[in-house]
Amino acid sequence: MKKKPKIEILRHSLSHVLASAVYEMFPEAKFGMGPAIENGFYYDFNLPRTLIPEDLEILEEKMRRIIAANLKFERADITFMEAEKDFKKAKQPYKVELIKDIKKENSKIKTVTVYRTGNFVDLCSGPHLESTGEINPASFKLTKISGAYWKGNEKNKMLQRIYGVAFESPKELRQYLAMMQEAEKRDHKKLGRELDLFSFHEESQGSAFWHPKGMAVWNEIENFGKGLRKKYGFLEIQTPILAKDSLWKISGHWDHYKDSMFHFETEKETYCLKPMDCPFNIKIYQTKLRSYRDLPIRYTEIGRIMRNEKSGELNGLFRARYLTQDDSHIFCLPEQVEKEISVLLKMIKEYYPTFGIEPKFFLSTRPDDFMGKRSEWDLAEKNLANALKVEKIKYKEKEKDGAFYGPKIDIDIKDALGRNWQLATIQLDFQMPQRFKLEYIDKGGQKRIPVMIHAAIFGSFERFIGILTEHYRGSFPLWLSPVQVEIIPVSEKFGKYSTEVQQKLSAENIRVTMKDAGESLGKRIREAQQEKVNYMLIVGEKEMKAKTVAVRDRDKGNLGTMKFEKFLEKIRKEIEDKK
Ligand SMILES: [Zn+2]
Ligand SMILES: [Zn+2]
Give every strand in the sheet of 269-273, ordered side by side. 242-244, 269-273, 263-266
Q: Which bound ligand lies closest to the C-alpha atom of 275?
A: 2
Q: Which bound ligand lies closest to the C-alpha atom of 278?
A: 2
What lies within 8 Å, CB to CB, of 376 at 6+ separation is 430
Confidence of residue 257 (pLDDT cuts 50, 70, 90): confident
Confidence of residue 27 (pLDDT cuts 50, 70, 90): very high
pLDDT at position 34 is 96
d(CA 321, CA 412): 22
pLDDT at position 515 is 87
pLDDT digits (tens, 9 = 90+) for 362-419: 999 999 888 888 988 898 899 999 999 999 999 999 999 888 888 999 999 988 888 8
pLDDT digits (tens, 9 = 90+) for 538-556: 999 999 999 999 999 999 9
Q: Are strands 451-460 and 140-149 parallel, antiparallel or unpaired?
A: unpaired
- Which residues does the annotation mark as catalytic? 278, 307, 325, 327, 329, 408, 454
pLDDT greater than 90 at residue 443: yes
Question: What is the percentage of the chain residues whose pLDDT exceeds 90?
Answer: 85
pLDDT digits (tens, 9 = 90+) for 132-180: 999 999 999 999 999 999 998 889 999 999 999 999 999 999 999 998 8
The mean pLDDT value for 203-214 works out to 97
Ligand 1 centroid – CA 124 distance (Å): 5
546: helix, strand or coil: helix
pLDDT greater than 80 at residue 2: no
pLDDT at position 28 is 95
d(CA 241, CA 247): 13
CB 195 within 8 A of CB 426: no
Ligand 1 centroid – CA 16 distance (Å): 6
Is the pTM higher than 0.85? The answer reads no
pLDDT at position 318 is 94
Residue 517 class from Cβ within 10 Å (0-12 exposed, 13-18 middle, 19+ buried)?
middle
The mean pLDDT value for 558-574 works out to 97
Q: Which bound ligand lies closest to the C-alpha atom of 279?
A: 2
Q: Among the residues of 364-512, which ranges form H helices?
A: 374-390, 431-435, 461-471, 495-507
> Which H/E stretch holds residue 215?
helix 212-231
Nearest C-alpha neighbor of 34 from the set 21, 22, 19, 56: 19
Ligand 1 centroid – CA 138 distance (Å): 21
Ligand 2 centroid – CA 329 distance (Å): 6
Ligand 2 centroid – CA 182 distance (Å): 35
Ligand 2 centroid – CA 214 distance (Å): 27
Ligand 2 centroid – CA 458 distance (Å): 14
Ligand 2 centroid – CA 297 distance (Å): 14
pLDDT greater than 50 at residue 502: yes
The mean pLDDT value for 263-280 works out to 96
Confidence of residue 317 (pLDDT cuts 50, 70, 90): very high
pLDDT digits (tens, 9 = 90+) for 444-480: 999 999 999 999 999 999 999 999 999 999 999 999 9
Ligand 2 centroid – CA 277 distance (Å): 6
Q: Which bound ligand lies closest to the C-alpha atom of 114?
A: 1
Q: Which bound ligand lies closest to the C-alpha atom of 433?
A: 2
The mean pLDDT value for 206-220 works out to 98
- The residue type of 33 is M
> Which H/E stretch holds residue 209?
strand 209-210
pLDDT digits (tens, 9 = 90+) for 59-104: 999 999 999 999 999 999 999 999 999 999 999 999 999 999 998 8
Ligand 1 centroid – CA 132 distance (Å): 12
Ligand 1 centroid – CA 122 distance (Å): 7
Q: Which bound ligand lies closest to the C-alpha atom of 408?
A: 2
d(CA 295, CA 317): 36
Q: How many CB atoms sit inside 10 A of residue 507's CB? A: 8
Ligand 1 centroid – CA 478 distance (Å): 51
What lies within 8 Å, CB to CB, of 576 at 6+ separation is none
pLDDT at position 183 is 87
Q: How many residues does the chain have?
A: 579
pLDDT at position 418 is 82
* Residue 140: strand pairing partners: 166
d(CA 302, CA 405): 24
Measured in whole angstroms, the distance separating CA 191 from the mean position of its chain's CA atoms is 17
Q: Which bound ligand lies closest to the C-alpha atom of 328?
A: 2
CB 517 within 8 A of CB 492: yes
Confidence of residue 1 (pLDDT cuts 50, 70, 90): very low
